[in-house]
Amino acid sequence: MPKQVSVFIENRPGKVERVTELLASADVNIRAITIADSGDFGVLKLLVDDPERAGKALLEGGLAAALKEVVAIRVPDRPGGLLEVSRILHREEVNVDDAYGFILQDKREAVFVIQVSEPAAAVAALTKAGLSLLTEEDLYTL
């Protein structure tokens, strides 16, 4: 399963610079990034080309980082494209704990990245419905 890197950071100037500096020094390429604010602290979530190396670099740099399994789904870049995914997950009672997405402009499709409590159930339901999931290699090399 693909993994995202979650970094717990203090909400103050310079923290994003520190994370990106450690990743650049470890020759890790960031493919997608999102930051969730929760007051004095936040969670920076990254899709990178090498999550294991990224996690190690961040931990060695003194930051609290964890690897989390995610499911990445190819979604048509059109109105209602995400609706099909949402309906499948709802029907199978899979709760989405966290999510973000991005567009692949050259392919006219989007990627919806979800973190769920039951990744295997989500993968099974989405695959059964004929949706295309991205493998680790697919996601890390976008």
- Fold exhibited by the domain 71-140: Alpha-Beta Plaits (3.30.70)
Q: Tell me: the pLDDT tens digits for 36-85? A: 888 889 999 999 999 999 999 999 999 999 999 999 999 988 899 899 99
State whether CATH 1.10.3720.10 applies to domain 3-69.
no
Question: Alpha carbon of 59 to those of 9, 30, 52, 66, 129: distances in Å?
Answer: 12, 17, 11, 9, 39
Instruction: Give the pLDDT confidence score for residue 108 in this predicted structure.
Output: 81
* Range(s) of the chain covered by CATH 3.30.70.260: 71-140
pLDDT band at 141 (very low <50, low <70, confident <90, very high): confident
Q: Tell me: the pLDDT tens digits for 10-30? A: 888 999 999 999 999 999 999
Whether 5 shows a pLDDT value over 90: the answer reads yes
DSSP for 22-75? HHHHTTPPEEEEEEEEETTEEEEEEEES-HHHHHHHHHHTT-EEEEEE-EEEEE
Q: Tell me: the pLDDT tens digits for 123-138? A: 999 999 999 999 998 9
Q: Tell me: the pLDDT tens digits for 74-115? A: 998 889 989 999 999 999 999 999 999 999 877 788 999 999
* Range(s) of the chain covered by CATH 3.30.2130.10: 3-69
**C-beta separation of 89 from 141 below 8 A:** no
pTM for the whole thing? 0.88
